[in-house]
Amino acid sequence: MTKSLNLTAAPVSPASLAALKQLYQFLTTTQEQLRAQNAFKIVSFAQEIPSIDPLALLDQIAAGDRVHFYWENHNHNEAILAYETVQSLIIDAPRPIYQNPAIYRAMSAANSHRRRYLGE
């Protein structure tokens, strides 16, 4: 089933359009170079956009079995919606396992390492 996406388009200035084209060129060039080297990198890109309802957007673009992530912070008027994935880790364990201090520290350390690797 095809869904149509009905969002209000924000005007794009020529300067920001040029910046988007430059970003696109950088990402595609880097992707080609990494494929040639049989290597990979994780890219995280964030951009502030005009206010929209992320869950309404997800409803319009999502296919039922696709991986997605949603996080919201009402106090700072922030929301993050991620859709699709190239790599994932699924841990199927009972909730109490996450309350084990040793496991929690190991998972936190791994997440901290990931943030340093990505330059966050």
Cα-Cα end-to-end distance for the chain: 38
Q: Looking up tokens 């991986």, which residue turns up?
A: 67
39 occurs within a structural domain: yes
| Strand ranges (E), 1-120 | 68-73, 78-83
**Domain range for 35:** 12-45
Give pLDDT tens digits for 59-89: 777 766 777 778 888 888 788 777 776 566 6
Q: Which residues contact 61 (CB under 8 A, 6 or more apart)?
A: 3, 5, 83
CB–CB of 58/81 below 8 Å?
Answer: yes
Q: Which helix (H) or strand (E) holds 34?
A: helix 14-36
117 occurs within a structural domain: no
Give pLDDT tens digits for 22-48: 888 888 888 889 889 988 777 776 767
| Three-class DSSP category at 27 | helix
114 occurs within a structural domain: no
Q: What is the pTM of this model?
A: 0.36
Q: Looking up tokens 């319009």, which residue turns up?
A: 60
Number of domains in the chain: 1
CB–CB of 69/94 below 8 Å?
Answer: no
82 occurs within a structural domain: no
